[in-house]
Structure formats: C-alpha cells, structure tokens
Chains A and B, each alone.
Chain A
Amino acid sequence: MKQYDTVVVGGGHNALVTAARLACERWKVLVLERSAVLGGTASTAEIFPGCAVNVAAQDAGLFPADLAADLGLAAHGLEWARPPALATSLTGGGEALTLWRDPARTRDEIARHNRTDAARFADWADHLRTMARVLRVALDHPAPAPHDMTTRERLRLLRPLIQAGRLGKRTVVELLRVAPLPARDLLDDWFESDALKGMLASTALSGSRHGPSAMGSALRMLYHATGCDPHGFRSSAFVKGGIGALSAALAAAARAHGAEVRTEAEVERILVEDGAATGVALASGEEIAARCVISGADPRRTFFRLVGALRLGPEFNRKVGNIQLRGTTAVLHLLLDGLPPLADAAERLAGHTLVAPSLDYLERAADDAKYGRASARPHLDMVIPTLHDPTLAPAGRHVASIQVRYAPYHLREGSWQDDAHRDTLLANVLAVLDDCLPGLRDRIVDQRLLTPLDLETELGLTGGDEYHGQMGLDQMLFMRPIAGWARYATPVKGLLLCGSGCHPGGGVTGGPGRLAAGAILRGRKQVARLTKRS
C-alpha cells in the first residue's frame, strides 16, 4: 500500500491551499473529494445544461493576492474579473443605487440620493479600509492563545502586535470600539440615506443568522472588507470561468508539486488507532494509510461523522456539539434568456445586485429567521457571472445566482424536505424581484433552488452553514472552532483541521488552509529539531 505523508479530506478551496502548500514542501499529499468537481462551497458545476454555475460562493474578493502569487495560480489559469460596478442596490420600482470602483462615480451616484452622504463616502471608504487592515493582521497570523501564555506564545504575539501598532494606536483602539458594534450603530454614525445604509449593512449578514442590529455585526462588515480594496463596500472579485476555476487552479498548483487529487472519492471514516489518525477509509471500502490526516470538512462533521464521537472525550464532544453551525442562506440559480430591463443593466448588474433597501428591511428579514421561518421579504444578493465571463453560458443566456437570506436550516414547523417550504421561499424571492426588477420573471427559463438542507446534503455542510461555523465575536480567533483548539490540531494525534471552521474563518479566503499548512510545517520542524538534538 502506498504511504502518503498526508491525506487531505475534502477538495474545498482551503483543503487545496493546504495541499498545495505542503506539496511545495515536498510532502506526499493525497486530496480526496467526494463530488465530481473540486471546490466544495467554492465550486462551479453544470447546474443547467451547457452552463457553468457557481454552486454556492460567488465572490473571491477575500482571497489574498500574495497567496495566489505564492502558489503561482496565474500560471495555472487563475484570472480575475473586477467589473467597474461593485454593487447595485435595487430600491424598488426599478430604482437603483450603484457603488463603483471609481470613487468619483460613486460620489455622483450617492449624491442623487443624499449629498451629505456622498461627501462622506470617501472618508468612510478610508475608514473601512483602515479598520479592515488592522483586522487583517489578526487574520493573517495564528490565533493567539490567551489561556496558555507561555513565553513562546508571547513572542509569537509580538509580530502581529508590531504590525498592528504600525497602523497607529488610534486605529487599533478604533477597531476595538467598532468591531463589537451593531452594523446599524456604525452606519447611523456615518450616513443618513436608508438605501445606502441597507446596502452597506448587507455585507454584515453573511455568516450569521443575526440582522444588522445585532452586536458584533459590524465585525462581519469589516471581515468582508479584509481582502482586496473594499471601496467602502466589501472586497469583491470574481473569477473568470467561475469560482471553481480558483479551486481548479489550486488543484493544478498542488498537482504541479506532486500532490495527487482524486475526485469522486468520498472519505467515510478517518481511521484512528490508539488515539492517533492512521489514514482514511473511503465509501468504496478502500483504505488509505497516511502519516497524518488533514480535514477540510467542518469541525462537527470531522469529529462526529468522520472520526466518531466515541473516539473523543465527552467534554470535547460537548464543545463540538455547541459550535454554532446554522445555515441561514438558500441559493437560487436562475437561467435567463436575457438581462432584466434596467437602464445600463449590463454595467450595473455586473457586481453584486442587492435587495437591501434599508436597515429595517434587513432586520425584519432576520426576525423571521429568528422565529424559525424563511423571510417573507428576503434580502437578496444576486451575481450574474455571465456578465464578466460570457463563456459560462450559451450565447444569449445568462445565469443569475442569488443568495437568499434568511432561510434558516432549522424551521419551526416542518423541514426543508417539505416542498411547500421550498415553494413558499421561491415565491417570496420572485415577489421581491417583481418589485425590484420588474420584468425579470419573464426572462427566467429555468431555476434551481438550493435550501440549507440541500447545501448540507450536496456539499457536506453541517447545518447548511457555508461558513463551517457562524462568524461572530464568540466564534473567532482563539475561539474558532472551539476555545483551546484554534491551532488546527485536534485531540486525535495526527488529525488536523484546515477548513473554514478554523481561524481566521469562512468565506473564500484561503486563510485557514494557509495557516493550517504553516502550523503543520512548523510542528514538523520542531519535531525535526528536537530529534536532531537528541
């Protein structure tokens, strides 16, 4: 039997980052993906005949440029699309407010609604950029370990502290003030226009079941701005060929360094002997041995399904059971035979197209979720990838992928297996679209709705949570995935985590994958040093 240094469970983008990094260090790596396409949440599949559709994630604006450069992803076919429009908010009755990458254009656009807000927007963009930069320092380094402050830990903290310090003491203090705020309070501080505030607050919603009035929602706004320049909104960048092309480039980079990447190879169990991982067993019955196993699956799936709760202690299991894995997003894919009748549709709809007309609208949508119902008037975040890459669909066709919030995984009555719930949600979405994009309905040729339950079954996301754990103050940094286990190691020796459930968190960031690889390599070096000494 072939012996691998490591088997990576799952072919999501983080798992591929880890695989590529380890392969670069001449590790013998095998990646095993259950589905036929790589990427997991960041995959592109033929959902409609002849169309490449981004299954769940749309935007890779948080993927760090330096990581892409490190892995030489451009050479493996990664090409970015950054359309001039960042986001267009549909405010009803065919009205729209667009934020552009060009600050002057954004200012003019906002001025049509509110001249004071227009004047402040450049300052806001600066503020968001600066805050995000400080937060980024925390996300770029392994999480601190405040419960275990050894000298080594203190030294390890020095570098991020110095980096953050360089950004200015006042900036750091301001981040501490802003991060726990409700997005509503932060935005009320800056702006008057409901349309603008609703639009900006929409970036606070993904990764949580809470609305913009919830404590800590401002942190999610900052989090979503920690990638490429957010221009006052969020880091946004699309991948030509669909987001799956990013995963494909990562896989190609890993393969170029000798990693093996297998699809349609579902890991059913992680093999554990004497408290140490020894390999994996596939659904096909095949067993593969490895020196260590790295799981890109979410923590609960990893521990409860792949390892088995019985191999872990009850105290640890309780913590794993308490991780907030709560999908609240459904994805509706629409196949269109043309763009909706909106002025400059091809330009304005090339970024994120939002239904987020006000903070109150978003809050009411969240209220429904709080009581276990899908939102009657959901918040929508639509991306039409065919606008920046026409090759994704046959000529004359467009694909619109809509993230629908809120569609809580746990419904108060019934479940998503009920067609009635699916039908209601679909009707709610279409009703909202009728108000905001009149005429879109007539363009729909085909549709496919993925509820949180579908996301769970199709992508293996526990609770349909595409973030592998809610992104809140209580589940970030040293508390991600659980307090005391934020350094990618697990109670099972030789089993590590590298997915979005780990620090720094969810989204197409590559961060967990990169830091996990770093931790694994550092651990290996320490062992090597120690053995050399003795």
Chain B
Amino acid sequence: MLLETPFHPRTAALCRSRRWRNWSGYAAALSYEPGHEYEYYAVRSGAALFDVSPLRKYEVAGPDAAALVDRVVTRNVFCCAEGRVLYTPWCDEAGKLIDDGTVQRLGADIFRITAADPCLRWFQDCALGMDATVRDISLDLAALALQGPTSRDILAGLVTGADIAALPYFALTDGHIGAAPVTITRTGYTGDLGYEIWLSPEHAIAVWDALVETGRGFGIAPAGLDALDIARIEAGLLLKDIDYVSSWTALIESRKSSPYEAGLGWTVQPRSGREFVGSRALAQEAAEPSPWALAGLEVDWPRIEERFAAVGLPPLVAGKASRAAVPIYTGGSRTTGRQIGYVTSSTFSPILKKYIALATIRRAFARPGTRIQVELTVEFVRHRVPARVVRTPFFDPARRRG
C-alpha cells in the first residue's frame, strides 16, 4: 500500500489517468490526463504544478551546521550565503556519488537538505564530533514545485510578505500563501523559470487550492512525473539510479560513479585547509581523470524515422522519456564500431523537436561535436543510428536565471 502525500486528496481527484508510480513509497501521479503532453507544455509555456513531497528532507542545525554540511557535500558551503540554495551531490569516502539534492541555507546555523533517498544515518555519522544535529523532517514538510514561464506571476500575486519578483535564481525567501507560512526557493527540476514551495502538511490543501485558483488565468496545470522526466532531460539534470548509480546500491564497483564521471565535476570545490568526505579520492581523480564522462547526445531524428518507416511504422520512440540503457558505438561501419558507452536517459524533446539523450561515455568521445552511433531496436532488429555529442542543457531559456 503506497503512502499518500499531504496533497493526495487533491491529486487523487485530479488524476484521471489513474496512473501512479511508487516514488519513495508514495503514490505519485505519472500524468493526470491520459497523456502527458499538455502537462509538459505547461512546464514550457504556462505553469506546471508538481507534488514533490516524497523528496527526503533533512534539517541540520547547531553551531557546526555549516561545517557539517560542508563536510558532507562536494560544494563549498561556506560560500553559500544565508537565504541561498546550492545544488550539490555528496560522495562516499572513495569519492563515489551517494545522492544529490539541494542545500538551503535558512540561517547562519540552520540548513535544509533535500535528498532522493534516506540519508539520515549517513549525515549523522558525518556529524560525529561536531556540534550539530541532523533531523529527518521529511514528514514535517510538504513540497510543491511550480515550474514554467508564468510561475513567477502566479506567486507574485499570491505570496505575501516576500518579494517574489526580486527573488534571484537559487535563492530562498519566507512568506505566506493565505494564512500558511511557506518557504519559497527559486529552484526546480525542469531547467525553466520555477519555484519550489515548502510548507507544513497541515496547510497543504489550502496552499494547493490557492495556487490552482490564482493560476487559472496563467495556464496552470497539475503535472506528473512523465512530463517532469522529459523536462529534466532537456535541462540535462541527472536522475539518481538512472543516470548514475548510488555507491550504496551499486552491486559492483564499476557501477559507481564519481562526480567527474557524472558531469558534476563543477560541483567538486576543493577548499584549502578543509576536507570533505571523498575529497582526497576526488583530488586524486582530478589529477588522473577517469576514462568515463557524461555527455549529451543528439540522435539523428530523420534516420530514426527512416528505420521505422522501412518496416512501415511511425517512429515509436516519440512521446515519452525512456530510462532504458542503450549501447553507444564509435562511428564507422557496423562491423568496426566498438562500444564506447551507453545512453542512460533519452527522450524526444517536444520543444526542440529532436531526439536527445544523456549518456555515460568514454571521455575521449565526450567532446561536443564528436560523431558516434546509438543502438536503435526496431521490430526486434538492432540498428545503429548516427548521433552527435552536444553540450547540456539541451534546452536553456534565458528566463531560467533571468
């Protein structure tokens, strides 16, 4: 029996598709309508409302809170001012990814961390010898993501006690929606203009209703995970256990990834005089780079269409994102090409009209512009179609940061 989030009375009534997925033990709608296209376009041209309550949330508090968070994550937390948010992964001692999430600095000595999976014991182990406490506040905090070009206008008209229009990218503010106190962060998992709203579960229904009511004139739509998946691939954002395997769940050593291997090298911020968990291993890896890297791929869409057309089919890969791992080969003939990696997530991008993918690939082939081939199975026959390494994010509107 799946758990219900605080928004469940509303989401359940809206979910006409009856398509739910188990997200961290909670029932999460895959799409509300029978198809997810409308919800996807709400992200890119209106405002999509996601229930993201199943995220794990932790509160770190105490005089050493900053030092503790700094010890856990790869990014330098001392550079994170109060009222700011960081996206960061965290690693084990071997420098392999455990999980990733956002770190919100609510005050000098108080932080909130979001995580995909439970990390309480890990954070507490890291806290040994420090004057800081870690609390699991997953159940104390409901969360919504309002993502899309009109999200700012919706919140600006709704939130009191905060200047939403002036809230910078990756910043946070406290405010009220109606009578409900909320924390609003300008963050999200769509690569678009968007916000996440953190609140006590008791106000969940009131806040949902207020958002839907105010959002009516702004193209608001409740959206599910199918739409989110497409948007996050377009934004080049990783999904734990799909685009990288957590070192805690990896069955074999080679499945683990370092931040460098997962395209998160920019989050590794060595700080002089301070170590963080995994810093030594990562320093070593920085000196001797791993042969693996993350790359964005653009797959040649006309060639995909051709392959399907040859058997009399429309291109069946269009529509929704795929999490199936697919081999990648060097360019050249079918017989000489050797495997150099694998696609981890792929989707047809409705806004770019391109077939795009996130891939784990040999570093030598990860340079943008490199031509490679991706496997495509049509009617049980394997083919290879050409693809090109491109920079991520695939889609990056100016409004994301602006």
CB B215 to nearest CB in A, in angstroms, measures 43
| Interface stretch (choices B125-133, B229-237, B344-352, B375-383) | B125-133
The number of residues on chain B lying at the interface, defined by a beta carbon within 8 Å of a beta carbon of chain A, is 11
State the CA gap A310–B275 with chains docked (Å): 9
Of the candidates B122, B125, B277, the one having the most CB atoms from chain A within 10 angstroms of its own CB is B125
How distant is the Cα of A308 from the Cα of B128 in the complex, in angstroms? 9
Whether A313 is near chain B, meaning CB under 8 Å from some CB there, is yes
A275 to B93, CA, bound (A): 13
Q: Which of B71, B93, B122, B280 interacts with A310 by CB under 8 Å? A: B71
**Min CB–CB distance B205 → chain A (angstroms):** 39
CB contacts (< 8 Å) of A314 on chain B: these are 93, 122, 125-126, 128, 277
Question: Contact between A317 and B128 (Cβ–Cβ < 8 Å)?
Answer: yes
Chain B residues with Cβ under 8 A from A321's Cβ?
Answer: 125, 128
Complex CA distance for A304 and B128, rounded to whole angstroms: 8
Residues of B within 8 A of A413 (CB): none
Q: Which residues of A contact B277 (CB under 8 A)?
A: 313-314
Nearest chain-B residue to A321 (Cβ)?
A: B128
> For residue A311, which residue of chain B has the nearest CB?
B275
Note all chain A residues with C-beta closer than 8 A to B122. 314
Q: Is the CB of B129 within 8 A of A308?
A: yes
B126 contacts across to A, CB distance below 8 A: 314
A416-B126 Cα distance, complex, nearest whole Å: 30
Contact with B along A444-483 (1 / 0, CB 8 A): 0000000000000000000000000000000000000000
A246 to chain B, nearest CB (A): 35
Of all chain B residues, the one with the shortest Cβ separation from A308 is B129
Known contacts A275-B280, A310-B71, A315 near B128 by CB under 8 Å: no
Flag if B125 contacts A315 (CB, 8 Å): yes
Other-chain residue from B71, B92, B129 in contact with A304 (beta carbon distance below 8 A): B129
CA separation between A304 and B130, bound complex, in Å? 11
B297-355 interface with A by 8 A CB criterion: none
Assembled-state Cα–Cα distance A43/B127 (Å): 36
- CB proximity to A under 8 Å, residues B108-146: 122, 125-126, 128-130
Least CB separation from A317: chain B residue: B128
CB proximity of B249 to chain A, nearest CB, Å: 16
Measured in the bound complex, the distance between the Cα atoms of B280 and A155 in whole Å is 33
How does the 8 Å CB contact mask read for A304-324 relative to B, with 1 for contact and 0 for none? 100011100111111001000
Complex CA distance for A519 and B130, rounded to whole angstroms: 33
- Residues on A with C-beta less than 8 A from B92 are 315
The residues of B that contact A309 with a CB separation of less than 8 Å are 128-130
Interface flags for A238-280 (1: CB within 8 Å of B; 0: not) read 0000000000000000000000000000000000000100000
Q: Which residue of A lies closest to B93 (CB)?
A: A313
Q: Shortest distance in angstroms between B248's beta carbon and chain A's nearest beta carbon?
A: 11
User: Bound state CA distance, A419 and B62, in angstroms?
Assistant: 33
Taken together as a complex, chains A and B put the C-alpha atoms of A318 and B126 apart, in Å, by 9
Contact call A317/B125, Cβ cutoff below 8 A: yes
Nearest A-chain residue to B129, judged by Cβ: A309
Distance between Cα atoms of A313 and B96 in the complex (Å): 14
Q: Write the residues of chain B forming the contact surface with A, with a CB cutoff of 8 angstroms.
A: 71, 92-93, 122, 125-126, 128-130, 277, 280
On A, residues with C-beta under 8 Å from B are 275, 304, 308-310, 313-318, 321
Q: A310-B130, A314-B128, A316-B93 are in contact. List 6 more A-B contacts (CB 8 A).
A: A275-B280, A304-B128, A308-B129, A314-B126, A317-B125, A321-B125
What are the 6 A-B residue pairs with the smallest beta carbon separation, nearest first? A309-B129, A314-B125, A309-B128, A313-B93, A314-B126, A317-B128
A-B contact pairs, 19 of them (CB 8 A): A304-B128, A309-B128, A309-B129, A309-B130, A310-B71, A313-B277, A314-B93, A314-B122, A314-B125, A314-B126, A314-B277, A315-B92, A315-B93, A316-B93, A317-B125, A317-B128, A317-B129, A318-B125, A321-B128
